[in-house]
Structure 1
Amino acid sequence: MPRVVHFAIPNWSAISRGWTSDSGLEAAVVADRKVVGLSRSAFEIGIRIGMSTRSARGRSHAIALLERDPIQELRRFFPVQQALTSVSPYFRYVSAGSGYLHWSSVGRYFGSEEKLVRAIREAITGTDVVDGVEISDSDVVCGAADGYFAATLAAGMNLIVPPGATREFMDAMPVSVLGDSEMLSLLPQLGIKSIANLLSMRVSDISTRFGSEGIALYRLALGEEEVPDLLQLPDRKVSIESSFEQPIREVEPVVFSAIAEIRAPVTELLDRGMVVTSAEVTTITSKTSSSRSWTLFSGFDERSLAERVRWQLEGMMNCEVEESGWDGVVGWRVDLIEFVPSHGSQLDLLGIPGVIPEGMTRAMARAEAILGPESLVVPVAVGARSPDQTVDFLPWQRPVGEVSAGRKMPARSRGSGRRRLIGSRKLPVDAQDPPWPGGIADPRPAAVYLDRPAVELLDQAGSLISLSGRGELHGVPFQLNSPKGSFLVRSHLGPWLVEQRWWDDERSQRYGRLLLLLHDGSAYLVVVNSGRWFLEAIYD
């Protein structure tokens, strides 16, 4: 993994508001019910960044809780970006208050990571943010490690992890550093307290117990899913630029035209299977110019790129108004730097992502009035151990998160032996879709066989593969004979044992599941029950 140097201003949400240490203001900035910034007075009474708003209220009923203003934070981050250009032009900014730099881009100039970290701190310290409020050295954290995620953790501790020692550094970390999901709060109760404990588990066990979320956390702990893998640049440089004969004093017309001009190149890249994750934005006024590199790991579209143009122009406008007056914009340029594979988006039947047209809503309401309440249902993905039971049906107007007491859901899907209740009582989604030990992780199969045709799984000698009661394969899968033909097995994953309704002698089931990767690139999900193999699903 590449060496990454990361810096952050953890209390940027408060600093960007102009809160000083001697203001005496007892306030905090909140987002998603968590504290993301706080004043000095709030810190002294025990409130900390990351604390829930309820806990903050518990420390002080008089504290003022203000909603985060991300646009203002980005605008006022401009002086910090400007100060960092004296260190390197290659900084990537993920959000307001933080950024990173690949050591390879500046290593020969600085010679050591200690000198680079010191230069970053000196450049940021003393920067005037708003109304004379300056950033102090204690406001900045900076660190370096192998890989982006490890570098963010090292920066939080103001630590430079030596090359090759990142794995040891990460192993000692608690699992809580991987995020704040409910599953992470459950892991310590199961004895998985550190990243080392998590990585000591088998991948198959994590997948069986925690599903796709567990696999994602496992990969994050390994450092495999930090910054997306980069694609090679297109065969020509992708730049979009615009210039104006006369300076334009208003920012809005510039941004509006930028959206239209950026749309075509970004759409062309999407058609080629690429999405932009890093871009360099250059804004030019009648007096000066400014270039910044921006990163968005989920991918830029024309509107998000135009927003970066807006933020830079507004930052430049604020600086020039204070110094010598604002004369207007004369041009801008966007250079697309880094690209990753586009995973696309799943559209609905009408080609609209998650939006039901008003005309269709009226038609469905009319049909329901004729056919009766809850007569129109829609498929919903649910948890289950078998792929043929992972689809249920709910009334089309009822939120997925609602379950009920009293009435039974009409059974519409074959093989779904479970009953889903509806009504007015709201419960958490986790209450209706708990973890399914033995279930398959995402992504879901492309084809599921309800009748499960019989197949043969043979080893290289032509003998039938069997599974012991302890879940061990007798033989190495070599060939699969199915109704679709005979295929050679390239590799396999598993087996996983599934035991259902062990308390019910009549309905209890115990079988094994195996995932086979075939030489033609497809994957078959097979199960073995009482010594016989059956085809359950296909991935293509």
Structure 2
Amino acid sequence: MLVGWVPDWPVVAVLGGEPQPDRLAAVVERGRILAASGAARAAGVRRGQRLRSAQALVAGLEVHERDVDVEARLFEPVADAVGRLAAHLEVVRPGVLAAPATGAARFHGGEDVLAERVVDAVEATGHPCTVGIADGLFAARLAARAQRIVPVGESARFLAPFPVAELGDGRLADLLGRLGLSTVGQFAALPAGSVADRFGGAGVAAHRLARGLEARPVVARPPGVDLVVEERFEEPYLLAEPLVFAARGLAERLHAGLAAAGLACERVEVEVDCADGSSACRAWRHEGVLSVGAVAERVRWQLQAWQQRAVFDEAAGGVVALRLVPDGLVRDPGRQLSLADGDQEATARAERAVARVQAILGHTAPVTVELAGGRAPGDRVVRTPWGDAHQDRRADGPWPGRLPAPSPTRVPAAPVPVRLLDADGREVEVTARAELLGAPDRLVLGSRDMARVAGWAGPWPEQERWWDPGESRRTARLQVTADDGRAFLLAVTGGRWHVEGDYDT
């Protein structure tokens, strides 16, 4: 498998599609840093950091909310450039491409030559690129970060030194770390049967990745079952908007056909036929099983990108047919309904209403909320786009260092910076041993809001992801009551205090 990776793609997209390494810019999603420019990373900004922490490190940091539509639209020229070199190209996400390497390498004269040509093709569009080749998508993505070509059969050895956090399951990584298994190689060395007994299905899937195998075998399409869905139009369409509405219906028909065959898909090919006889095709991949909403969203991204590049303009005569072809078929995991699910017709009506909202506002507009596991109050509330799977973080699982009861009544969307001072006006600090240097005396909440501290509890230290220097975080929390009756949950990170929540007293 060949993977081409364009570093900092979210940042490149929000800066207008041109790489500008000297700008201190970062892309934020849900209050955390998603990606940062080279200059920002050199100054200490890291993926997963809270926004306030990043802004405290870098003065004048440009902050941009993530816009996946823009990322996908601007990435199309890069995908086109690589698509001329490798067949069956898949867009894993804007910024990452994948393709089978065997046939393409044989055609171009070797894997080294293929990798060089992919890099040259992407750099010709104005963007840096790294390429990795290995057995399977997971190993190839890590190889792309290191610009490595891993020989056939050597993926397990290549993966061995990586931390278990790279397997993508935070809960499993935390458990393995406490068991003394800090690297992928140590986890891969465990017997498969023992992993299945102790860690279940999620552990088996991660164990296969650690051994350099695909996450799951692909189930062949049953003979005689045509799962392709198509919509032909009496009048050609020159704009993407009416095609997006048609795509939602096609996505529902696609999943109905898959469900009838007991299957689900991990990839989907979007195809359009134009009035002049030309056509265009692009494959999109998803980490996990594609839901109806996820399929419709990827079709929308692709149609908007094609419209911008005039694939179906007046010269082409417009689109006369839209087609979805499922690929990467797996057994449908199914969904067990409980006795309390109630009126199924009402549920179906609600799902159709949400689908219309997604078609208008985007896949990520309507969300569902679930209480998940976590240590900080803000980490426990997970908002997930409708139709996507919630994060697998059990609320009743062991969370060492979790804040004791009672929990805050209100949690701000983003941490609110404050100052905690002692009687001499100095900032109260917390040592590495979680001891306060000075007794809290005043809490400065703003230019005109200051309260005297009547009492406090804590601090409670927390160190997360200590095995990953780029993702590690050290925090200490303090419950504080003021003389006017207010109560707050404070946290200090990097020497800066902020409010994580307040209590209804």
TM bucket (normalised to shorter chain) is 0.5 to 0.7
Assess, with a 3 A threshold, how the Cα gap between structure 1 residues 237 and 63 changes in structure 2: closer, same or farther. same
The one-character-per-residue Cα deviations of 1:411-431 (angstroms, maximum 9, x if unpaired) are xxxxxxxxxxxxxxxxxx878
Specify the SS of the correspondent of 2:335.
coil
Partners of 1:207 and 1:200 lie apart in 2 by 13
Assess, with a 3 A threshold, how the Cα gap between structure 1 residues 434 and 126 changes in structure 2: closer, same or farther. same
State yes or no: 1:91 paired with 2:113: no
Partners of 2:339 and 2:123 lie apart in 1 by 54
Specify the SS of the correspondent of 1:76.
helix
Name 2:11's counterpart in structure 1: 14
Name 2:25's counterpart in structure 1: 27
Assess, with a 3 A threshold, how the Cα gap between structure 1 residues 143 and 91 changes in structure 2: closer, same or farther. same
Name 2:112's counterpart in structure 1: 114
Name 1:342's counterpart in structure 2: 332
How far did residue 296 of structure 1 move?
2.6
State yes or no: 1:263 paired with 2:227: no
Correspondent of 1:290 among 280, 283, 286:
280
Q: Indicate conservation of the 8 Å contact 1:7/1:98, yes or no.
A: yes
Which is higher, the Rg of structure 1 or of structure 2? 1
Correspondent of 1:152 among 141, 144, 157:
141
Name 2:397's counterpart in structure 1: 433
The one-character-per-residue Cα deviations of 1:17-63 (angstroms, maximum 9, x if unpaired) are 23555585422002255433223442342324454545423412432
Name 2:45's counterpart in structure 1: 47
Q: Indicate conservation of the 8 Å contact 2:229/2:253, yes or no.
A: no
Aligned-partner residue type, residue 68 of structure 2: P
Q: Indicate conservation of the 8 Å contact 1:28/1:66, yes or no.
A: yes
Correspondent of 1:332 among 317, 322, 338:
322
Q: How does 1:69-84 map to 2 (within 5 A)?
A: 69-84=67-82
Name 1:524's counterpart in structure 2: none
State yes or no: 1:308 paired with 2:305: no
Name 1:526's counterpart in structure 2: none
Partners of 2:107 and 2:140 lie apart in 1 by 20
How far did residue 100 of structure 1 move?
1.1
Assess, with a 3 A threshold, how the Cα gap between structure 1 residues 195 and 297 changes in structure 2: closer, same or farther. closer
Specify the SS of the correspondent of 2:115.
helix
Specify the SS of the correspondent of 1:320.
coil
Q: Indicate conservation of the 8 Å contact 1:209/1:435, yes or no.
A: no
Aligned-partner residue type, residue 6 of structure 2: I
Once the two structures are overlaid, the 10-residue window that deviates more, 210-219 or 78-87, is 210-219
Specify the SS of the correspondent of 1:340.
strand
Correspondent of 2:289 among 287, 294, 299:
299
Partners of 2:31 and 2:206 lie apart in 1 by 23
How far did residue 164 of structure 1 move?
2.1
Q: Indicate conservation of the 8 Å contact 1:285/1:331, yes or no.
A: yes
Specify the SS of the correspondent of 2:310.
helix
Name 2:124's counterpart in structure 1: 126
Aligned-partner residue type, residue 7 of structure 2: P
Name 2:61's counterpart in structure 1: 63
Correspondent of 1:279 among 250, 262, 268:
268
Specify the SS of the correspondent of 2:14.
coil
Q: How does 1:509-528 map to 2 (within 5 A)?
A: none
How far did residue 161 of structure 1 move?
0.8
Q: How does 1:486-501 map to 2 (within 5 A)?
A: none
The one-character-per-residue Cα deviations of 1:321-370 (angstroms, maximum 9, x if unpaired) are 9998896433322223331110111223255799998xxxxxxxxxxxxx
Q: Percent identity?
A: 29
Partners of 1:183 and 1:54 lie apart in 2 by 28
Assess, with a 3 A threshold, how the Cα gap between structure 1 residues 163 and 40 changes in structure 2: closer, same or farther. closer
Aligned-partner residue type, residue 289 of structure 1: S
| TM-score for both structures, normalised by structure 2 | 0.61
Q: Alpha carbon RMSD of aligned pairs, Å?
A: 3.8
The one-character-per-residue Cα deviations of 1:81-133 (angstroms, maximum 9, x if unpaired) are 22222112311122111121112343431231112111211221122xxxxxx
Correspondent of 2:163 among 163, 170, 174:
174
Once the two structures are overlaid, the 10-residue window that deviates more, 262-271 or 199-208, is 199-208
Partners of 2:145 and 2:133 lie apart in 1 by 10
Q: Indicate conservation of the 8 Å contact 1:144/1:155, yes or no.
A: yes
Name 1:318's counterpart in structure 2: 308
Name 1:131's counterpart in structure 2: none
Assess, with a 3 A threshold, how the Cα gap between structure 1 residues 356 and 272 changes in structure 2: closer, same or farther. closer
How far did residue 154 of structure 1 move?
0.9
| TM-score for both structures, normalised by structure 1 | 0.58
